[in-house]
């Protein structure tokens, strides 16, 4: 097999060019790095790694643009009254008798997976956590600033090398890896997010190709030796809407494997089914990735967000208060059951999702109640046939582990024991059924407080925060945003907690003002003044009152965290 150096360091005639002045990155032809120069970052942004990213971008950019155009077309169809559904032209895939490549032994048992951003201490804690897998997140849990992304890549490299350490000076505490660590999966950003600090041929790079490309380039060889038992690296793939997007990932993987000289099928990925259109494409997505798949996951928070977004022009499908849209609603249960049936039919893992509860430090009774909710959620998942689940915090791992182990015993998964044949009859009506529940003023207030505080954190580089004893990230905060937009747009009647009142601009304005005052009281004047709450409030208000719904909260907001050097901040 060709060595890493031989395979990647092919001669090229590109002009050696340093960007960003005297101290600059050594970039290949057609590439421009507009992010801050840092000697540590330059060990990630090597010329050859950048060339690899540029090659991916050049080969796949038109496919990505086409896939994003198709999303727009689908949106138009839904906005004109259409409903998502199964595609008659791919019935042969849904009904065919095929299976995915067999599961790599290294990740046969995934009963508890901890997730977290790629921040250094969190990475070390997650790898030491005693879960089976750590999903290191460049997506929902990360604010994609240049600093976060580059430090995240450094942290991933050091994690795979087994050399990652950190020292917290303020607390005089060190972090280092235990002898036993968990298996690493990396979640790159979704297709929709650009990387505005790296330009290729005059255009911002595609965020996920930067995340994937840099991580793969630097780590694939070590990963396969130390983590993957000959397989890997392993990925989670977010926010896809159609199997054509999975086909692009499959082609990216095959290209990377060829360039690295490793066998086809080395790279493995779990796809999050977290958009409403994707639930009708689960077989097709697995089929596209059949040589590279290691299952599907119920990304329940983005799924709820996507339900609202897909039905943005359907006032008869308003969702009730966010807290009432749980996994026991018929459409959510149907999605999880069909996902299990589909994955097990195709021989791969059906992963559960994230309960939003996190440990409550200063109130044992409330903490026990939160833990009980997590246990209940996990029990539902394992009994339904899921092979594993997500935990948002190390403190939840023992409870999740206990529930799964009590029900699965020593078996690494339930792929062959829980076929869920009964779920094969679930149809469009089950998957789209209108959720039941009430619309309340408290729901609107909570959405406002959560949306503003999440955005305020995101603007300062923090992509996941504890709010009101729950985990909030880009996916859960999106629900708050689009729900507020939808209630406002259609004048939802809030009658769940008193006499009915219709949401309108006046009411929403008052709610925003009052909730800002409450946030100030809750966080304290000093933190409020130093923080980005006012900016966040402006962004949230604009997004909720926009005549046309923004596709993603993070797209417009991204312009606020782009920092071009040496010029200063810049809009795309």
Catalytic residues: 187, 473
Residues contributing to the site for ligand ACO (CB under 6 A)? 114-116, 121-122, 125-126, 137, 140-141, 301, 354, 358-359, 392-394, 464-466, 471, 473, 475-476
β partners of residue 200: 31, 203
Return d(Cα 296, Cα 237) in angstroms, integer.
Answer: 9
Which residue in 205, 272, 286, 471 binds ligand O=CC(=O)O (CB under 6 A)? 272
Query: Which two three-digit tokens encode residue 350?
Result: 């059906």
Whole-number minimum distance, CB 183 to ligand ACO, in Å? Answer: 14
Q: Does 189 participate in binding ligand O=CC(=O)O (rule CB under 6 A)?
A: no
Which residue in 475, 477, 536, 562 binds ligand O=CC(=O)O (CB under 6 A)? 475
Which residue in 232, 299, 437, 451 binds Mg ion (CB under 5 A)? 299
| Alpha-carbon distance values, 30 to 13, 16, 55, 200, 568 (Å) | 12, 11, 11, 6, 22
Return d(Cα 43, Cα 528) in angstroms, integer.
Answer: 37
| # residues contacting ligand O=CC(=O)O (CB under 6 A) | 10
Return d(Cα 450, Cα 466) in angstroms, integer.
Answer: 10
Peptide bond just before 233 cis, omega within 30 deg? yes
Whole-number minimum distance, CB 487 to ligand O=CC(=O)O, in Å? Answer: 21
Residue among 131, 140, 185 at smallest CA distance from 159: 185
Whole-number minimum distance, CB 390 to Mg ion, in Å? Answer: 10
Site of tokens 């719904």: 549
Whole-number minimum distance, CB 253 to ligand O=CC(=O)O, in Å? Answer: 20
Query: Which two three-digit tokens encode residue 37?
Result: 């120069």
Give the binding range for ligand O=CC(=O)O (CB under 6 A) out of 101-109, 148-156, 241-249, 299-307: 299-307
Residue among 543, 534, 183, 568 at smallest CA distance from 388: 183
Query: Which two three-digit tokens encode residue 512?
Result: 């925003």
- Other Cβ atoms less than 10 A from the Cβ of 527: the count is 13
Which residue in 109, 113, 302, 321 binds Mg ion (CB under 5 A)? 302
Q: Does 274 participate in binding ligand O=CC(=O)O (rule CB under 6 A)?
A: yes
Confirm if 192 and 551 have CB atoms less than 8 A apart: yes
Q: Does 344 participate in binding ligand O=CC(=O)O (rule CB under 6 A)?
A: no
Q: Does 137 participate in binding Mg ion (rule CB under 5 A)?
A: no
**Taking every pair of C-alpha atoms in the chain, what is the biggest distance, in angstroms?**
73
Whole-number minimum distance, CB 303 to ligand ACO, in Å? Answer: 10
Residue among 237, 264, 51, 41 at smallest CA distance from 157: 41
Give the binding range for ligand O=CC(=O)O (CB under 6 A) out of 100-108, 249-257, 300-308, 358-366: 300-308
Return d(Cα 242, Cα 228) in angstroms, integer.
Answer: 28
Cα Rg, the chain, nearest whole Å = 23
Q: What is the DSSP letter of 316?
A: G
Q: Does 112 participate in binding ligand O=CC(=O)O (rule CB under 6 A)?
A: no
Site string for ligand O=CC(=O)O, 397-436 (x = CB under 6 A): ----------------------------------------
Our CB check for ligand ACO shows the closer of 301 and 508 to be 301
Q: Does 475 participate in binding Mg ion (rule CB under 5 A)?
A: yes
Confirm if 248 and 51 have CB atoms less than 8 A apart: no
Q: Does 300 participate in binding ligand O=CC(=O)O (rule CB under 6 A)?
A: yes
Q: Does 299 participate in binding ligand O=CC(=O)O (rule CB under 6 A)?
A: yes
Whole-number minimum distance, CB 302 to ligand O=CC(=O)O, in Å? Answer: 3
Q: Does 208 participate in binding Mg ion (rule CB under 5 A)?
A: no
Return d(Cα 236, Cα 342) in angstroms, integer.
Answer: 18
Confirm if 50 and 37 have CB atoms less than 8 A apart: no
Whole-number minimum distance, CB 123 to ligand ACO, in Å? Answer: 8
- Alpha-helix runs per DSSP H in 12-118: 39-42, 47-79, 91-95
Q: Does 140 participate in binding ligand O=CC(=O)O (rule CB under 6 A)?
A: yes
Which residue in 109, 211, 288, 302 binds ligand O=CC(=O)O (CB under 6 A)? 302
Q: Which residues bind ligand O=CC(=O)O (CB under 6 A)?
A: 140, 272, 274, 299-302, 353-354, 475
């Amino acid at each position: 097999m060709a060595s890493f150096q031989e395979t990647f360091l092919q001669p090229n005639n590109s002009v050696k060019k340093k960007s960003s002045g005297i101290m600059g990155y050594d970039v290949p032809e057609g590439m421009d790095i507009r992010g801050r120069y840092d000697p540590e970052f330059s060990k990630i942004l090597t010329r050859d790694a950048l060339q690899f990213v540029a090659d991916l971008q050049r080969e796949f950019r038109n496919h990505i643009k086409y896939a994003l155009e198709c999303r727009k077309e689908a949106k138009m169809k839904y906005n004109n009254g259409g409903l998502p559904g199964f595609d008659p032209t791919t019935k042969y895939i849904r009904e065919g008798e095929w299976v995915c490549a067999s599961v790599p032994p290294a990740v046969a048992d995934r009963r508890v997976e901890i997730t977290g951003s790629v921040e250094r201490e969190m990475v070390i804690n997650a790898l030491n956590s005693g879960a089976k897998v750590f999903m290191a997140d460049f997506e929902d849990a990360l604010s994609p600033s240049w600093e976060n992304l580059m430090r995240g890549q450094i942290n991933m490299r050091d994690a795979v090398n087994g050399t990652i350490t950190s020292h917290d000076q303020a607390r005089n505490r060190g972090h280092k890896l235990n002898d036993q660590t968990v298996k690493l999966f990396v979640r790159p950003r979704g297709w929709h997010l650009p990387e505005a600090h790296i330009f290729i041929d005059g255009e911002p790079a595609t965020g996920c190709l930067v995340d994937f490309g840099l991580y793969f380039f630097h780590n694939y060889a070590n990963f396969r030796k130390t983590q993957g038992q000959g397989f890997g690296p392993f990925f989670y793939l977010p926010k896809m809407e159609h199997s054509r997007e999975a086909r692009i990932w499959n082609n990216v993987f095959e290209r990377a494997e060829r360039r690295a000289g490793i066998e086809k099928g080395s790279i493995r990925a779990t796809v999050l089914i977290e958009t409403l259109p994707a639930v009708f494409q689960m077989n097709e997505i697995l089929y596209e990735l059949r040589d590279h798949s290691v299952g599907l996951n119920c990304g329940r928070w983005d799924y709820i967000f996507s339900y609202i977004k897909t039905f943005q022009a359907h006032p008869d499908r308003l969702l009730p208060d966010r807290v009432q849209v749980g996994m026991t609603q018929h459409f959510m249960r149907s999605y999880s059951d069909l996902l299990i049936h589909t994955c097990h039919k195709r021989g791969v893992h059906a992963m559960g999702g994230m309960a939003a509860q996190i440990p409550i430090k200063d109130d044992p009774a409330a903490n026990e109640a939160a833990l009980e909710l997590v246990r209940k959620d996990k029990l539902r998942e394992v009994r339904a046939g899921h092979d594993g689940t997500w935990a948002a915090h190390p403190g939840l791992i023992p409870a999740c582990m206990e529930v799964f182990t009590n029900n699965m015993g020593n078996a690494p998964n339930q792929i062959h024991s829980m076929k869920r044949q009964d779920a094969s009859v679930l149809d469009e009506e089950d998957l789209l059924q209108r959720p039941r529940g009430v619309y309340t003023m408290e729901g609107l207030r909570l959405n406002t407080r959560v949306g503003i505080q999440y955005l305020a954190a995101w603007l300062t580089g923090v992509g996941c925060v504890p709010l009101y004893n729950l985990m909030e990230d880009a996916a859960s905060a999106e629900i708050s945003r689009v729900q507020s937009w939808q209630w406002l747009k259609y004048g939802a009647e809030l009658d769940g907690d008193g006499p009915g009142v219709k949401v309108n601009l006046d009411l929403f304005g008052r709610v925003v003002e009052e909730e800002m005052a409450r946030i100030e009281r809750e966080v304290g004047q000093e933190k409020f003044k130093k923080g980005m709450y006012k900016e966040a409030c402006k962004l949230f208000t604009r997004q909720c009152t926009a005549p046309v719904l923004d596709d993603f909260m993070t797209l417009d907001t991204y312009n606020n965290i782009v920092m071009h050097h040496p010029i200063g901040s810049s809009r795309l």
